Amino acid sequence: MSDDLFNSSGHIKNSALKRFRDGNLNDIELVILSKHIESCEECAEKLTDSFEQVDFLKVPGGFQEEIKDKINRRHEKNRQFFFYSLKVSMAACIALVFVFSSTLNFMASTGVRTLKIKSPQFTVVNSINMKLGNFTNKIIDMEGFNNEIQKK
């Protein structure tokens, strides 16, 4: 099997290299050639040179800039998320300090003056309501009296 893959100087034969590139090797041959290419610089160079320009995919114009823009946008989003998280953490820490310290109690007892509102005097309104109530009762009584007279 090694005779099919390597020449007399111990390097990969061109025919084996072509089969390797085309994917026509069995698993054992593939492992043997891969290990050899890994350790032999001359064969690695020979493999690299065996590919032609048409074998590689052409990258569309602006592809590199597009990738860089996507990476930069991703970094910017990560940065924004970091600063947002930092702000929220700081706000939570400050809130906890206020809650568990005597700062709120001090602020609550700083002598904030409350206005005392005097309740309004409704004596005039009450007297008008009483007079209207009496007047309403008189009208109801008169109606009741008139209805009794009509029934008789």
> What is the domain extent for residue 20?
2-54
Q: Check: CB of residue 39 under 8 Å from CB of residue 45.
A: no
- 119 belongs to a structural domain: no
pLDDT at 75: 94
Number of neighbouring beta carbons within 10 Å of residue 29: 17
Number of domains in the chain: 2
Sort 16 into a burial class: Cβ within 10 Å, 0-12 / 13-18 / 19+: buried
What CA–CA distance (Å, rounded) separates 5 from 29? 8
pLDDT at 56: 63
- Answer yes or no: do 68 and 36 share one domain: no
Q: Is the pLDDT of residue 84 over 90?
A: yes
**pLDDT-wise least confident of 52-56, 60-64, 74-78, 113-117:** 52-56
- 144 belongs to a structural domain: no
Whole-model pTM: value is 0.35
Encode pLDDT of 104-152 as tens digits.
666 666 655 666 767 667 777 788 888 888 888 888 877 666 666 665 5
Exposure string (b/e) for 49-78, b if CB count within 10 Å is 16 or more?
eeeeeeeeeeeeeeeeeeeeeeeeeeeeee
- 14 belongs to a structural domain: yes
- Answer yes or no: do 49 and 65 share one domain: no
Question: Which helix (H) or strand (E) covers residue 8, if one does?
Answer: none
pLDDT at 145: 60
Q: What is the mean pLDDT of residues 4-18?
A: 83
Q: Is the pLDDT of residue 41 over 70?
A: yes
pLDDT at 80: 94
- 122 belongs to a structural domain: no
* Greater model confidence, 114 or 77: 77
The first and second tokens of residue 5, run together, are 């893959």
Question: Which helix (H) or strand (E) covers residue 101, if one does?
Answer: none
No. of H helices and E strands in the chain? 7, 0
- Answer yes or no: do 62 and 96 share one domain: yes
6 pairs with which residues across the strands? Answer: 12
- Answer yes or no: do 68 and 37 share one domain: no
pLDDT at 89: 93
- 148 belongs to a structural domain: no
